[in-house]
Structure formats: structure tokens, C-alpha cells
Amino acid sequence: MSDFAFDTVIHGGTIVTATDTYKADIGIRDGRIAAVAESLAGGTKRIDATGRLVMPGGIEGHAHIAQESSTKIMTADDYYTGSVSAAFGGNSSFIPFAAQHRGQSLDDVVAIYDERAAPNSVIDYSYHLIVSDPSPEVLEEQLPRAFARGITSFKVFMTYDLLNLGDGGMLDVLTVAKTHGALTMVHAENNDMVKWMNKRLAAKGLTAPKYHAISRPELAEEEAINRAVTLAKLVDAPLFVVHVSTEAGAAIIRRETQAGVKLFAETCPQYLALTREDLDRPGMEGAKFMCSPPVRDAQTQEALWRHIQAGTFMSVSSDHAPYRYDETGKLFNGADVPYPKIANGMPGIAMRLPWLFSEGVVKGRISANQFVALTSTNAAKVFGMARKGSIAPGFDADIAIWDPNETRVVSLDDQHDNMDYTPFEGLTVTGWPRTVLNRGELVVEERELVATRGRGRFVARDTVDLTGRPGYRAPELDPARNFGADIAP
């Protein structure tokens, strides 16, 4: 074998995967990992990783990029700025949402997002659909076409009047998903509880941003998670609960997962880093910290960390929802409006990995191997990215090289997005990604962008991996127990 059989050799570093930590070199050829060995010579390009950690590139599984909300507010990041920010944060691929609005064809939605993503993204990408209008044509024709193309997950809502499907609509989409091996994701909050709270607060004139934090009760999430899981169990369909923010909600996930239900869940850095006190800032400043579900309190943070440590959550995702603090975003409806008229969401795609490494690995809450699982490997498995999420021969050479000792005070300049603030401003973080490769090509090299716009590729994904999750069979849908009638999906 020629000394230059590899396009790139990463040498001298410590490799960290979801299961192992060891010193070795990585040889890359034609965009894939060709060899992992104690020592590799040659390479047209050699990258010295001495003193650094070499990990699979992050897979961001929850981000809103170039997405118009149901209230017609466009996120600040397009697929260029969003992917650049993701890459600076140690990610080599991401799966933003492609949102259907009422009356829209899913075929048109996919075409729109292809036009937004393909010419712009610097890293590999796929989509989760958002389904808000599950008409017969959507369920019977359009969703199956999306699944066949490799868009094997979609999100539904249990709140927001323009998105909420209701329980019957949930059962319909869960059944279609099960038939095709797709994964349904759910935003779980009880819509009527939230509307009732909003009405009560408005009647008393309590409409400042800080009241958003109490307008969406913990019980609203707990009840909706329980109901969503119950609906999924009835048809034995896989379910992914996004942005879990409560101890009780996490407990439901853990209980049902241990019972074998086809269930996955995530939490997000904002629920671990911020509390509702952050919304209680002068004037409208608290609007910067509004998201749904809202951030909670310190006790909840500790409980969520315990669930991370125990393996309740498949991932920690950013839920990057970049609305600027101006008339294009947070203040779209005015500079002094009630909190229900303020755009919900915070940026965080660049801070997800550095913050979790610093607070998790550096502070001893989780191991570096757990970090890799939570930020890359698990997402690759659940979302069907078969060639990503690990460092082994045959996998895409999606790699992030970290300086585990670099300490920085977070600033907006670190984010490289199109935002005018970061909720993590001023926090001290130890451990930063320095170099990121996607399919063997340098995207970020020593904290400098070197990739060209549009080099990222669409990733057609496999169906969800349900290994170890036998599911649930409702007795009423078992022909052996319901007089022989076979009505199971």
C-alpha cells in the first residue's frame, strides 16, 4: 500500500466513541474512514491531533432553519448561516424541520426546502417533516412518497391552534408511520391547559415575558406526554418526544421505555442552563429567553441531569429556533406586546456541544463516551443515518477534533449565526471543537471556515432502529382476544 493511500490521516489524537476511548490514527479515503490503527503513515494531508480528542461529528437532530412559523415569522438562519453555525459548534450534519402549513402539499414542502438547503448548506443535511394538515392525500400518498425518498421522520403538535392535530389526527399519522417504519416526533403540551392559563393571566393584566414561564404549566407537559405515549401504544407505533422539560415528563419516558415501549426522547441545553428567572429581566429583555415548553427551575435541572445520566434521553438537542430581538423576530408584532404575541424559541446550535461537554464531561456529570452517544451516535441510529455517528472503517469521515482544555467566555461572535444575541452570553465554557470534517472534507479548520457554500449533501435516511423495544400490544387489537377481529394497523 502506498504511503499516500489515504487522502487524509488524523494522527496523534485520542479517539472517543460512544463505547471506547483510545489513542489511534485515522486514515480517510474517498470521504470515508478507511483505517483506524495505532499508527498510520502517509496521507496527502496529515492533521496533527496531539493533545486533542477526536470524536464523531455532532448530529443535530432538532433545529429550525429557514423555516416560517405558523404565524408567518421566518427564522433568522438560512441553510448557509445555520449550517456554518452548526459546524463551528462541532456538528458535521443536521436534520432541521420542513414545515407543512394548513392546505400545503407535502410534495411542495419538500421541494421548497430542497431549494433552500441544496445551494447553501456546508454540512450534510436531511429533514424532519412537520405535518399540520393530515388530509387523506397526505396520509395515503404524500407521506409515503417522502418516506420512500429517505425522509423517515416527521413531527406533530399537541398544542398551537394552527398545528394541533387532536388525538384522532395523532392516531391517523401514527398508524401511517408504523406501516412504513417511520418515526413520529411530538411536541407534547396540553393545548387547552395553556389556553386556559393564558386567559387567566390576561384577565389580570399579567402579560410581561416573565409570565410566559408560568403560562405553560409542568402539568400541561406531563399530561400530554402521557397521552401521546398512550396513543402510540394503542397502535404500537414508535414515538419520539422532543424537548422534555419536566421531571414528571422524564419519569414517564423512563417508565415506558423500561416497559419496552417503542419510545425515544430528548432534552435540550436551555432546560439545563437557564431558569424562569432569566425571563424576569427589565423591559422586554426576558423575551430573548422565551421558548415552549418554557425553562423551569434549578430543581428541575438537577432532575433532568439525573435522567441524562441514567439513559432516559436518547439525545440532547439544541431546538435552535433563531428569532432575532427585533421586528423580524421576537418583536414582529411590536416592541411592547403581551407574551403570547412574542415569537417562541432561542438560538443554540453552536453552543449545544461545547456547553454539554463543559457542563457534562468537564464537571464529571457524564463521561466523554456518553457525550458522544448523546450528541451523535444515538441520533444516527434512531434517525437512520447508517454511515454516520461513529469512527470505524466504512463510516463517513464525519469527525470533530476538540481541544478539551480550551476555556472561553461565550460571546455572540462565537456563534457564527445570523442572530443578534445568544442566551449563553457570558458563560465560561471549557472544551471547544477546533476542526470539523464532513465526508473527509474540512469544513472548519482551526476555528476558520474553509468549506464552500452548498457542499453539503442530502442524506436519505433508513427507518428507525427499534432494537430492544418490543413494543406494546393492546388487548383490544389482538385477534386472539377480541373475537377474532383483526383491526390492528
Look at the block and give the residue holding cell 443536521. 94
Q: What is the pLDDT of residue 1?
A: 47
Structural domain count, the chain:
1
pTM of the prediction? 0.97
Say yes or no to pLDDT of 370 above 90.
Answer: yes
> What dihedral angle (degrees, nearest 10) is formed by the CA atoms of 370, 373, 374, 380?
180
Does residue 75 form part of some domain? yes
Say yes or no to pLDDT of 3 above 60.
Answer: no
Percent of the chain topping pLDDT 70 = 99
Q: What is the pLDDT of residue 138?
A: 97
Q: How far apart are CA 348 and CA 369, in angstroms?
A: 22
For the chain, the straight-line distance linking the first and the last C-alpha, in angstroms and rounded, comes to 54
Q: How many residues does the chain have?
A: 489
Q: What is the pLDDT of residue 482?
A: 76
Q: At 89, phi and psi to the nearest 5?
A: -85, 10
Q: What is the pLDDT of residue 2?
A: 54
In terms of C-beta density within 10 A (0-12 exposed, 13-18 middle, 19 or more buried), how is residue 302 classed?
exposed
Q: How far apart are CA 170 and CA 176, in angstroms?
A: 10
Give the three-class secondary structure for 143. helix
Does residue 466 form part of some domain? no
Provide the grid cell at 235. 397502535
In terms of C-beta density within 10 A (0-12 exposed, 13-18 middle, 19 or more buried), how is residue 227 classed?
middle
Does residue 484 form part of some domain? no
Does residue 356 form part of some domain? yes
CA 296, 301, 306, 312 torsion: positive or negative? positive
The predicted-structure confidence for 400-459, as pLDDT tens digits, reads as follows 999 999 999 999 999 999 999 999 999 999 999 999 999 999 999 999 999 999 999 999
Find the domain containing 131 and state its range. 57-376
Does residue 224 form part of some domain? yes
> Considering the chain, what is the average pLDDT of its residues?
96
Does residue 178 form part of some domain? yes
Residue 126 is part of a domain; what is its CATH number?
3.20.20.140
**What are 336's strand-pairing partners?**
none
The predicted-structure confidence for 196-251, as pLDDT tens digits, reads as follows 999 999 999 999 999 999 999 999 999 999 999 999 999 999 999 999 999 999 99
The predicted-structure confidence for 274-283, as pLDDT tens digits, reads as follows 999 999 999 9
**What are 437's strand-pairing partners?**
399, 442
Give the three-class secondary structure for 80. helix
**What are 154's strand-pairing partners?**
129, 184
Q: Residue 260 in contact with residue 234, Cβ under 8 Å?
A: no
In terms of C-beta density within 10 A (0-12 exposed, 13-18 middle, 19 or more buried), how is residue 472 classed?
buried
User: What single-letter DSSP state applies at residue 452?
Assistant: P
DSSP output for 319-385: -B----SSTTTTTTT-SS--GGGSPP-B--TTTHHHHHIIIIIITTSS-HHHHHIIIIIHHHHHTT-
Look at the block and give the residue holding cell 428569532. 323
Does residue 438 form part of some domain? no
Q: How far apart are CA 33 and CA 56, in angstroms?
A: 11
Confidence of residue 70 (pLDDT cuts 50, 70, 90): confident
Give the DSSP H/E element, type plus range, for residue 256. helix 247-258
Say yes or no to pLDDT of 21 above 60.
Answer: yes
**What are 96's strand-pairing partners?**
63
Nearest to 388 by CA among 82, 63, 61, 117: 61
Q: At 186, phi and psi to the nearest 5?
A: -140, 135
What number of other Cβ atoms are within 10 A of residue 196's Cβ? 14
Does residue 463 form part of some domain? no
